[in-house]
Amino acid sequence: MARTKHPAVRKTKVPPKKKIGTPRRQETDGAGTSATPRRAGRGAAAEGAPGQPKQRKPHRFRPGTVALREIRKYQKSVEFLIPFAPFVRLIKEITDFICPEITRWTPQALVAIQEAAEYHLVDLFERANRCAIHAKRVT
């Protein structure tokens, strides 16, 4: 006998049937309060109206995924991570505190100081990360 193909059969979802009858009542004591207290914040808003679809949760990445993506992003980039204007204000404030006679800086000197400062911070964070990995720390 020859082999024949069977067409794919689609199953449609049948909505669950509603039970017809009396709704359940919570047992109450004589004062009219329920025996089991309801939690605050729960109720019709949390359960949702019967005719409306439930709201989806927002998508969340697993812990560490976004951090690794940011690491790759900043490793590819070549621009400074610290904004230039606040860094220049900080440099001028420090030099004014240490030596008030120095009031002017060349732009090349400020860029060189910023590059050295960022390199120092990145190196410091890399070492801290290596120490945390070595100590088998998670957070």
Three-state DSSP at 28 gives: strand
Other CB atoms within 10 Å distance of the CB of residue 114: 19
pLDDT classification of 108: cutoffs 50, 70, 90: very high
Tell me, what's the pLDDT at 1? Answer: 63
Tell me, what's the pLDDT at 127? Answer: 96
This prediction has a pTM of 0.55
Amino acid at the residue 62? R
pLDDT classification of 124: cutoffs 50, 70, 90: very high
Q: Whose CA is closest to 94, among 105, 83, 82? A: 105
| Domains, the chain, with CATH or none | 65-134 (1.10.20.10)
pLDDT, tens digit, for every residue of 17-59?
666 665 665 555 555 555 666 665 555 555 556 677 889 999 9
Mean pLDDT of 68-97: 94
Q: Whose CA is closest to 34, among 49, 45, 19, 42? A: 42
